[in-house]
Structure 1
Amino acid sequence: MSSPDITSPSNQRWFMLLLISLGYVSLTLNWFNVAAAFPLIGTSFGATLPQLSLLVSLFLAGFGIAHIPGGLLATRIGLKRTVVIGILIEGIGGVLSGISPNYATLAIFRVVTGIGGSIFLAVGVAAITVWFTERGLALALGIGTGVGFCVGVAMGLYLWGFLQAAVGWHLALVIGGLIGILIAALTAVAFQTPHHTKTLQGTPISRAVIREALADRDIWIYGIAMIGAYGAYFTASQFLAEYAVSERHYTASAGNLLAALIGLAGIPGSVAGGWFADHYQKTKAAVVLPMFVMAALLLLIPFTPAGMLWPLGIGIGFVLLFAFTAWSSVPDRVAGISHANIGTSIGLMLTLSALGGFLVPLGFGRIVPATGFAGGWIFLAAVSAVFALAGLAGRDHAATPKEAEKIARTIA
């Protein structure tokens, strides 16, 4: 039997999806493996809970500032080069985080790592979109961004706990960074864009490009809607294990497993969200309703028996990635952004949501010492629900030619 021809258009797009999925594994591995090391970092550097929560916020600060520049860079120098640059910077940041001699240095390198992840995440969505825009886009985004994302989360929060116990947290972070550098090299060799999309090799940046990428109403609406849930998910995924151990008397291994399951639950969540968005063409429902469900799950955490943390944590991971998959398709499906500018548009959405990624962990880190963990979970539930309300104003489909002409006149 002959081997499959990966150069055929059908097989080629799945191979490209695999490459980008590996990039997402690297992204979240080098993001979340620090959380698994929080107890060791606290001991090594004398870091308090607010300082550890600041490490989460600092990564997300770097993660938020480079989405739009990364998208514009992809427009200017090409999609492939920008994908490789993003993965490479994050990998280097992971290595540097591992060799940090003190808390201040680690804090700086978490920002650097976040910047690399920021560049990759936005253009990674574009890299998948250009191969799957004709059919199965949301499902492909679910597999690429969702499954790849969640595998990295589970590795960082669970497997890296064992690795850190074996080799120390410094070397464990270095290994995570080296994996990212290796994936960047593989992507540089093997990734390519469809042959018919020459603009993806790089084009000049003009006012028209900026206007299309950044002025669409739905890009802003959906970006704002994700602020609360985005920040709440990353806070919960990195602190639910500590809460389970310190407040609900879980063992350390059970706490690590709970954290891993939050990440792993996003795998079926992202696939289900992609299938739902493709099958029913209901972007708004696929994005907004899971956010309200997530708010309810967060609210239940302090008021239910300890054993309920398992289904609640798994549910949080499932519904956020369900929503995120459909949300990632908004620039193509709802806003109708051209392929060359999708990276910048999703970059704007991610920048808006990253406000939550930066501010929500800070709020959580201030509320918990004052009110206990119960106040922190209520806070996360509230911000998730409040910002989700904005999504109710979004559309489910791209503008018709008549609508697009009206919008263009309004912008002009």
Structure 2
Amino acid sequence: MKTLTKTHSWLFKLSLLSISILAMTAPSIAVANPLLEKTFAQESTAKIEMIATLPNLGVLLMIMFSTVIAKKLGVKRTIMLGLSLYLVGGLVPILIPNYVAIVVFRFLMGCGIGLFNPFSVSLMYLFYQKQELADMLGYQNTAQNLGNAGFGLLLGILVLFGWKAAFSGYLIALIPLILFGMFVKIPKEHAQRTGEKTVKQHVNGQVFLLALLLLLVFGMFMMITIKLASFVTIQNITTPAVASVILAVMGATSMFSSIVFGRLSRAIGNYVMPLAFIGIAVGFFIIAYSTSVVSVTMGVVIAGLFFGWVFPQAFFRMAQIAPANSENLSTSVILMGINLGAFLSPTIVNAIAKMLGNDRPQAVLIMCGIGFVVLTFVDAVYTLIDTKNHPHNLTKGVVKHDN
């Protein structure tokens, strides 16, 4: 097809991947919380922290409706609308330094992410197949981690000039607005597939199970980000500032590990996921029993290394189990599981820790490590059974199950 002749060029791939650099950047503004607390002294600490986490609600809401909106507007217009909302939601707080206004536009930013993020993955299934698809899913995860790590470092510099300067970092949205807008064209057949009433997308039980799995995974993994600073402080290992640097290293590690996902997938197929889980568990245990900065960093790096394979493997797996012509809806369900897990992480994990009688950071990290060990065995057994029923899924490209 003429519309697909340039999809293998690096310019097209970079343009397609560019929207992924924004996916994980919204919470990074938490670096400005101390300055925001001084500016909005009348607001509680919880309300200030909500500025960083509120976009998750917008993401969850719009992910549910992104496919419906795409049917009305078209996929590319929906993505461009999402990118525009992200940009506006990120920059308006600079112009209107009012708490309520900031909260409203942060929510709109999340809505923007919810509009474009599902398509950042589902479009991969349209343009690529088999090994190239696995490679691109790895690159997509790399782009997310690159955006997260790079944006975090950028905000670390900008915040030195005030919290308004930190919000100016969201000008980064201009990159995908220009690249995706200029160089990515959606084939007509895809527009028909997402726009015609004759095509009704649906989700099967396997997709819901995968979404539940990722809810648990992201709910537990977020504990590294949430608990590391308090852990190193309570254990008298180092300062929260050093913990922030260590977390940045984790993002970079995940980025580089995801680059080799394609080769790893070709070698061991769907066993990538249980391998990732056991590696993350090891990282959690090393952190929990650390007594020095070196060992904490080692544990965080190991966890980040193996976590870099979770996201691309999840969507590569989804391509195998999702019903035909339902990639967009299936992607939305998966992303809802991920975002819901991340959003509810502190509430659920801390509640379970309290039920077990110990909610100190070390105990929470150990509990999550045990959780990943359990997921390792569960997913390994599932993969073993599934491989016997669908042997092509182990080493080959995307092979749909019967639905």
| C-alpha separation in 2, matches of 1:262 and 1:42 | 27
The Cα of 1:99 is off from its aligned counterpart by 5.1
Do the aligned residues in 1 keep the contact of 2:231 with 2:362 (CA within 8 Å)? no
Partner of 1:287: 273
Residue 210 of structure 1: which of 201, 214, 236 is its match?
201
Matching of residues 254-403 of structure 1 within 5 Å = 254-277=242-265, 279-280=266-267, 282-283=269-270, 285-307=271-293, 308-335=295-322, 337-338=324-325, 341-363=326-348, 371-381=359-369, 384=372, 391=379, 392-393=381-382, 395=386, 397=393
The Cα of 1:227 is off from its aligned counterpart by 1.0
| C-alpha separation in 1, matches of 2:134 and 2:233 | 37
| C-alpha separation in 1, matches of 2:262 and 2:27 | 24
Q: Indicate how the Cα distance of structure 1 residues 275 and 75 shifts in structure 2: closer, same or farther if over 3 A, else same.
A: farther
Higher relative contact order, chain-length normalized (CA < 8 Å, sep 6+): 1
| C-alpha separation in 1, matches of 2:348 and 2:36 | 21
The Cα of 1:347 is off from its aligned counterpart by 0.7
| C-alpha separation in 2, matches of 1:255 and 1:100 | 32
* Structure 2 gap segments, 5+ residues each: 388-392
* Higher mean C-alpha displacement, 89-98 vs 247-256: 247-256
Letter in 2 for 1:25: I
Partner of 1:172: 166
Matching of residues 7-406 of structure 1 within 5 Å = 9=5, 12-29=8-25, 31-46=26-41, 51=47, 54-55=50-51, 57-98=53-94, 101=97, 103-143=99-139, 145-165=140-160, 167-173=161-167, 175-193=168-186, 195=187, 198-200=189-191, 203-204=194-195, 206=197, 209-211=200-202, 214=203, 216-237=204-225, 239-241=227-229, 243-244=231-232, 248-251=236-239, 254-277=242-265, 279-280=266-267, 282-283=269-270, 285-307=271-293, 308-335=295-322, 337-338=324-325, 341-363=326-348, 371-381=359-369, 384=372, 391=379, 392-393=381-382, 395=386, 397=393, 404=402
Q: Indicate how the Cα distance of structure 1 residues 86 and 235 shifts in structure 2: closer, same or farther if over 3 A, else same.
A: farther
| C-alpha separation in 2, matches of 1:33 and 1:273 | 26
| C-alpha separation in 2, matches of 1:192 and 1:327 | 26
| C-alpha separation in 1, matches of 2:372 and 2:339 | 13
The Cα of 1:95 is off from its aligned counterpart by 1.6
| C-alpha separation in 1, matches of 2:138 and 2:252 | 13
| C-alpha separation in 1, matches of 2:378 and 2:39 | 43
The Cα of 1:208 is off from its aligned counterpart by 5.2
Do the aligned residues in 2 keep the contact of 1:244 with 1:255 (CA within 8 Å)? yes
| C-alpha separation in 1, matches of 2:369 and 2:96 | 35
Do the aligned residues in 2 keep the contact of 1:50 with 1:365 (CA within 8 Å)? no
- What is the CA RMSD across the aligned residues, in angstroms? 3.3
Q: Indicate how the Cα distance of structure 1 residues 281 and 382 shifts in structure 2: closer, same or farther if over 3 A, else same.
A: closer
TM-score calculated relative to the size of structure 2: 0.81
The Cα of 1:320 is off from its aligned counterpart by 1.6
| C-alpha separation in 2, matches of 1:319 and 1:24 | 20
The Cα of 1:60 is off from its aligned counterpart by 2.2
Q: Indicate how the Cα distance of structure 1 residues 164 and 399 shifts in structure 2: closer, same or farther if over 3 A, else same.
A: closer
Q: Indicate how the Cα distance of structure 1 residues 253 and 276 shifts in structure 2: closer, same or farther if over 3 A, else same.
A: same
Do the aligned residues in 1 keep the contact of 2:137 with 2:315 (CA within 8 Å)? yes
| C-alpha separation in 2, matches of 1:134 and 1:332 | 10
* Structure 1 gap segments, 5+ residues each: 1-6, 408-412
The Cα of 1:301 is off from its aligned counterpart by 2.2
Q: Indicate how the Cα distance of structure 1 residues 97 and 258 shifts in structure 2: closer, same or farther if over 3 A, else same.
A: farther
The Cα of 1:264 is off from its aligned counterpart by 0.6
**Other structure's SS at 1:176 match:** helix
Letter in 1 for 2:173: G
**Other structure's SS at 1:226 match:** helix
The Cα of 1:385 is off from its aligned counterpart by 5.2
Do the aligned residues in 1 keep the contact of 2:23 with 2:113 (CA within 8 Å)? yes
Do the aligned residues in 2 keep the contact of 1:128 with 1:141 (CA within 8 Å)? yes
| C-alpha separation in 2, matches of 1:120 and 1:129 | 15
**Other structure's SS at 2:322 match:** coil
Q: Indicate how the Cα distance of structure 1 residues 244 and 38 shifts in structure 2: closer, same or farther if over 3 A, else same.
A: farther
Q: Indicate how the Cα distance of structure 1 residues 53 and 21 shifts in structure 2: closer, same or farther if over 3 A, else same.
A: same
Do the aligned residues in 2 keep the contact of 1:92 with 1:113 (CA within 8 Å)? yes
Q: Indicate how the Cα distance of structure 1 residues 244 and 266 shifts in structure 2: closer, same or farther if over 3 A, else same.
A: same
| C-alpha separation in 1, matches of 2:5 and 2:232 | 48
| C-alpha separation in 2, matches of 1:99 and 1:365 | 37
TM-score calculated relative to the size of structure 1: 0.80
**Other structure's SS at 1:66 match:** helix
| C-alpha separation in 2, matches of 1:399 and 1:191 | 23
The Cα of 1:55 is off from its aligned counterpart by 4.6
The Cα of 1:327 is off from its aligned counterpart by 0.8
